[in-house]
Every structure is written in structure tokens, then in C-alpha cells.
Chains A and B, each alone.
Chain A
């Protein structure tokens, strides 16, 4: 369904009609059907770029809907500069394994070219599901730089970006720091990707007397691959510095690696022994502490998994804020 003039009432009416239709289709002609279940736990705004980006984003959105049933509003930034805004409403449904009832989430898609995109924000005010949180995942670097970004971000309780995909990743960190300092809630998937690394480091230090170890610590080393802007290394370094304090150096060393991930190794060097966490090219992570070694697997995380972690945190995250503050100054 497309129209030259897009009105929120019309889209909401389309959605209502859709639910009635879905209910009829499900219950007619089947005595085993248990109907459809309309599920909404938040409004989820997803900013995408026209083209390839929207396919991957659609897949991630479909995955997220299963765990976070939402009114999803996809905001597509078209490549043209025309004044036309297009809008349509539809439902995403799935049948959970072993169940007889379909679960459906509502989805609205709004698209506009660069010039008309600012008008989308005014439409959104009538489309946001009442009394529920609003999360804005800005997956598109072009939209991050668009003048409407601030308005869209202002409507959301939390904004999620991936700083490594921003046009200027380093400036992105500074921007995020300013936003957090101003009291806004932001998440950065470049930080989220590090949770397993950080958790592994924390587990290592469960095994030892930290005070004694830190008395002997000379430095921490992060080996990373991929340039020019190693966001993950910045964040990890910021985190280690925020924990260890200023007196221990944290060195980031660039290494060549064929693997897709950025962090290769973390090493804590002392006069007596080193603690090392090393991720091989197959994704297996080995932890070496003196004579002991343990192995775990970091399977590749897709965007949906990362966003899911961010969606679970709708309050302040002081550890992220401290690491970001330092990372933004590197």
C-alpha cells in the first residue's frame, strides 16, 4: 500500500484492518487453529539505508521480533532527493514450534529521500505505541549524519548505533560520550561485541588474588587487527584503564590476522608470569594462567544478538560510560 500523502491515522487503520483479517484467516476453515496473538512490548525504530542494507536489517529485525515483540517502524532513507514519503503497514507472523497459535507483530515502513526525511519525524509522533519504551536502532551511517537524527533520537528512550560503521568512527565515540554525559541513553554495538572478552577477563581474575596480582603487574597488552579505526581496541583499552587505573600502561599493538574479528589477544604481563587470553582464527579462545589453560568458544555474533543484549539494558550503564569516556580521548 503506498500513497503520496501518508497519515498516521491511515496507517493505524490499516494495521487494525490487518489484525481483523489475520484473525479471520486463522480461524476460518481450521478447527485446530488457536488464532493469532498480537504482541507489542515496545516501539522499535529501525533506521536503514535503501539498498542492500535494508535486506540484512530486515533479517535482523525478524529475529529480534521473536524475543522482543514490538511495533517495528522501519525508517528507510532513500537515495533519491524527492519530496515523496511512502508508508505501508503489514504484519510479521510466525508460528512457534509446537504451538497452534501464530504470533504477529505489526510493522510500519516509512521511506523518504534525503530532503523529505525530516518530515518523517512528525509522522512518527502519531505512530509510536503508547505507554511503552521507544528504542531507535540507527543502522545507517547516512542517517546518523542526517539533520533528522537528533529529532529521531530525541523521541527514543534509548538509541543504538554501531560506531565502527559511522562515517567517522572516532568522532562517533566523542559524540556518544557527549550524549551519555548529557543524560541520554545510548548503546554502541562495538562495545557490545566485547562483552564476552570482558567476561572472560573477569573470570580469569576470579581465580586469583587480584590485589597481589596487580602489585606485580607491569602492563596489559591488547593485540588487534583491522585498521584504520580499531573501535574494539579503543573500548577495551578504555575499559582496562578504567579498571586498572592510570599507573598501569595498556598498550594496543596492531597485528596481521585473517580472522574477521578485531581483538586477537589480551595479555597481562607481570615479573613472574603472564596471563593470556588468545582467540584463534577458528574462534576458539584459550586462557592461559601459569600452568593452567581453559578453552571456550566465541561463536560469531550477528547483529540481532548484539541488539538483543542492548535491549535488555534500558537504564544507565556506568561501566560503559567510564570506558567510553577514556576511549573517546584516545
Chain B
């Protein structure tokens, strides 16, 4: 029998209970925006619904708009009811949840505003027992990130006398190039240590991206094949069927390379290619990801045209709908040089991956929404079954292909050759062995924001990007960005509803490869 318990909580049951989150508050800067209403509040409510949040959990919202606590609560109720996914809305639970929601209006550049925030947090700590633990969530314009963190420091909000923790979550983009990322990091690190800075990349919060680690390092049969000896090349595709959806003005400045490849897709690629960490801990996993990102070969300017393709969609009729070209979208300049499509051939300079091309592409207005990773293995060394005329060149004579499907239809497929029983003789035909996430685990999959918010509250930064990772990924794309900035492109070069520009197909064809249709 256990002895008299000490100050640690002896009632915890790690086998059956959810991970313990200490009492705390979340302070959201820019709480009147889309992200808060569509993602953050629904995710936090869902966590409360599943009893994953501690008693006394509180939220403080901020924006410039003058609202009372009650008005803000009502606004959040409407958005939670509207945007909560695959979950019921429980009015009674909301009533309790809403009691912990507060609002402090104010101007982010006004020092007095931060003092008001401090006062509000102190009151909440007293009333609701949050222990002084605060997660600051920066859901503002990126240009405010550094100054908000500096104000947090100057007002004394970055520290708590009673020993409560203070963490900050920052949404991408983390800078717009390497120099600005370094500057941002440098200003933030003067206020908060790296261990308290959580740079969110919601792709890493997706269950299926996390499953890549389980797949690779929880099994022994794949890892011995996971190298240049057996893998011909890897294709990472993140296609969206939608256009810019009213975000034309923002997107015009960002572009696909910055918006998707520099952050999400390079992180995904690093997850697929990194070495096994010595243990599953935040820094161990991130060290390996960072090491991989640093190993990406940096292109020389003269190599960019051969290794990267920039595209922009033009108008097209798809089905019975006339789709606008990017330049016809509201808020977009008719001369815009923005990349709505980007494809890059990356190489990783290490012993495992030397010489293996990693084709990474992303685009808007593609035929469908799909994100997957296709690992194409080398052909069998001997064409033992190719005696039938034309069999070797047949499209059916395909090498093994492993598909990791991130979204939708999350799962894993392995294509291999099997004897075709029809017609007699030794004819082979590719067949697919499918693992479907939804059918093997019928439980509701948490949204990426639920996963990541819970991690940040628990102090687990494994799925967050670290300063060195951000800088390494900027370094990998910067030569491409610079070259594209100095080149005038003849746009549009692909029709809405297609799989991208011909130049992208040519890029793969030069190495004897072709894009698979996901």
C-alpha cells in the first residue's frame, strides 16, 4: 500500500487518464479574427468537452474592437456552434466554459494595454486558481509578433512571481525570408527562452503526419529499405482545389513556395527522411528534424530553373463552372507574378539519401484536394517475368510504391506485384494493400489545433518548430525565392483544374520520372 502522499498529485492514473494539464489561461491576441473563431475556440471547447482541460481553465481574448466580456462570450458561442467539427454542442457545458472567457480590448502598441492585461490575468488567477500559468497565442498580423512579445517583456508579463509558466505560440509565417526570420527570433529570444516559444505548424499536428513517425520507427520492416539503395525517389504533393478564397491580397505577397513548401512541406519531408531519434522526446525529435533540414542541398542560382517550377493558374471552365484566373481574383493585381503553384526538386546531402530526388509540389486550383507522400522504390534488379512481349514497358510493370496519405482518406497503401490469375502464364499485375486509418481506428481524430494546443499547455514542443528548423528551411528555399523575384514569368501557365504547368512534368522527365496522379 502506498505511504502518505507527498505534494505530487497521487490521484493521477497515466494509463487511463488523459495527459494532465495544469490550471492555466490562454491569452489570445487578435481574438476577433478568423483563426480564433474557426479553429482556436472550437478546438478549446472540444478539449473542454472531452474533459482534457483543467478546472479553472480560462481564456482572455483581445482585439482593438470594444466588446464587453459578455459580448465576446456570445460571439465565441456563435462561432463554436458554427465551426465545431464532428462534435455536439452542449449548451450546459458551454455555460460553464464561457464563465472562464474574458475580453480585454486594446491597441497592441499601447503599453497601458499590457498593464490592463496583467491586471486581468491577476484577477483570473485569484478567482479561478490558474496558478499564474499563461499561454500567449499570437493570432495577429505577423508584423506585430516581435513588438507584442517585446511589450509582454516590458510589462512584466513574461514572468510570474509565483513561478507560473509563460509560453508564447506564434503562427506562421515566421519571417518572410531568412534574414527576417533571424531578426524575429532574435527579438523574441530577448524576452523568452527558446523552450517557451512554440512556433505552430498545423501540418505537424495532423494525426497522419505523426503516424509517419510511428510507421517508420515503430516497425522494423520498412526502415532497412528507407534509403538510397532501395528508394528511387519521393513525391510530396499538397494540392488544393480551391483558389485564394478572398485572400488574394495576402496570397499575392506570400505565394505557394512561402505559404506551403518553406514550412509545412519541408517539415513533412523532414519527418519522412530524418534519422531515428534516440528517444521520443521533444528535443530529440526536433534535433533530428533540424539536422535533416540542414542537410538539404542549397541550390545555386544557375540551378534553380532546372530544379524549381513556378506556376500561376489561369481561367478555365471546370464542369459547369467558370473559374477565374488568379489575376482576375479580387484584390489581385492583373500583373501579379505570384506563384499559386510551386514544384521543387530537393536533394538531401547525407549518406542515407544522397542522389535521391525529393519532388515537392503544391498548388491552388488543382483537380482535387489531396496531400500525400509517395515513396517509389527501385525496380526489381532482374526482370524475371518480362518474357511476354511488351511486359517490361507496360505501365502495369510498376515498381513498388508506398503512399502515405495525409488527407483526405488518411492511410497507407503499398503497391506490389502479384500474379494475375487470368489468362494463364506468369503475368504480373500491380495490386494495392491498403491500411485505412478510419476503418482501423473508428475514433474521432482530433483536429490539428486540438493536438497542438494541448501539447503547448502540457509543455510538449515535439510538434512545434524550433528556431534552427525555421532558419534551415528558409535557407533551403531562399535561392529559389531570390531567383524568382528577379525573373519575369509569362503567366498564367496552367489552367485552373489541371495538375500544374508542363514545365513541372518536364522537371521530372529529365530524370526519367513522372508525377503520379494522386
- Residue numbers of A with Cβ under 8 A of B are 37, 39, 41, 66-69, 96, 99, 101, 103, 195-196, 198-207, 209-212, 214, 241-247, 284, 287, 289, 292, 294-297, 309, 313, 317, 319, 322, 326
Contacts and interface: CB of A to CB of B under 8 A. Distances in A.
A198 B7 contact: no
A324 to B, nearest CB: 13
Contact of B51 (A196, A207, A284): A196
B123 interface: no
B163 interface: no
Nearest to A291: B127
Contacts of B34: none
Interface string B420-439: 00000000000000101011
Contacts of B17: 195, 198-199, 202
Given A202-B9, A204-B55, A241-B1, 13 more contacts: A37-B434, A96-B438, A103-B439, A199-B17, A203-B54, A205-B9, A205-B11, A211-B7, A214-B4, A242-B1, A245-B5, A317-B15, A319-B13
A198 B13 contact: yes
Contacts of B22: 206
A196 B18 CA distance: 10
A293 to B, nearest CB: 9
A245 B1 contact: yes
Q: How would you classify the secondary structure of chain B's contact residues: helix, strand, loop or mixed?
A: loop
B441 interface: yes
Nearest to B131: A207
B54 A207 contact: yes
B468 to A, nearest CB: 34
Contact of B2 (A195, A242, A313): A242
Nearest to B49: A297
Contacts of A201: 11
A297 B93 contact: yes
B6 interface: yes
Given A203-B54, A207-B129, A67 B443 contact: yes
A101 B436 contact: yes
A319 B3 contact: no
B340 to A, nearest CB: 27
Nearest to B408: A98
A68 B92 CA distance: 32
A289 B23 CA distance: 14
B20 interface: yes
Nearest to B3: A245
Interface string B90-110: 101101100000000000000
B8 interface: yes
B16 A313 contact: yes
A243 B439 contact: no
A202 B2 contact: no
Nearest to A298: B51
Contacts of A245: 1-5
Nearest to A296: B51
Interface of B: 1-13, 15-18, 20, 22-23, 51, 54-56, 90, 92-93, 95-96, 127-129, 131, 409, 434, 436, 438-443
B92 A284 contact: yes
Contacts of A206: 9, 20, 22-23, 54-55
Contacts of A242: 1-2
Nearest to B128: A292
18 contacts: A99-B409, A103-B436, A199-B13, A199-B18, A202-B11, A202-B17, A206-B9, A207-B131, A211-B6, A214-B4, A214-B5, A243-B11, A244-B4, A245-B5, A294-B96, A296-B51, A319-B13, A322-B2
A313 B15 contact: yes
Contacts of B54: 203, 206-207
Nearest to B7: A211
B439 A292 contact: no
Nearest to B8: A210
A67 B445 CA distance: 12
B1 A246 contact: yes
A110 B211 CA distance: 38
A195 B5 contact: no
Contacts of B434: 37
Contacts of A247: 4
Contacts of B442: 66-68, 96
Nearest to A209: B7
A297 B92 contact: yes
Contacts of B438: 96, 99
A325 to B, nearest CB: 9
B163 to A, nearest CB: 13
